[in-house]
Amino acid sequence: MNVWTTLDHLLAISSAAERRGRSDDLVAEIADGLAASGEYVTKVDVLPTQQVVDFNWAAHQAGRQLGIRVHVDVEHNKTMAAEGQAQVRVAPLRPPE
């Protein structure tokens, strides 16, 4: 039995659980913002790219919790780009008229 493989496996499991907890918290935060004010606006670090992907997933999960579809709009300007961030707005998707 390789002890390091076992430790690596345990670290991977705990890391996955930690990420899942953060994702659940973010989903709840976005859902609360949507329910309270009709939209959720924040800044997101654009690197690593996985953070943007995770935020997008969390936004859509929040919409599912509320029983709505959402639109995620990412906006960045020169100032935010220099800081490595983008402004993200999550709003309910309006049905076509």
Residue 21 CB neighbour total at 10 angstroms: 10
Query: What's 53's domain CATH number?
Result: 3.30.110
Tally of structural domains, the chain:
1
88, 73 Cβ separation under 8 angstroms: yes
CA-derived radius of gyration, the chain: 17
* Of 47 and 61, more confident: 61
Q: Is 19 helix (H, G, I), strand (E, B) or coil?
A: helix
Domain, as residue range, for 71: 3-92
Question: 70 CB contacts (<8 Å, ≥6 apart)?
Answer: 34, 59, 60, 62, 63, 90, 91, 92, 93
Indicate yes or no: pTM above 0.85: no
Report if residue 22 sits inside a domain: yes
Q: Is 91 helix (H, G, I), strand (E, B) or coil?
A: strand
Output the pLDDT for position 5.
Answer: 52
What is the pLDDT of the chain when averaged over all its residues?
Answer: 82
pLDDT at 53 over 50: yes
* Of 19 and 29, more confident: 29
Output the pLDDT for position 11.
Answer: 54
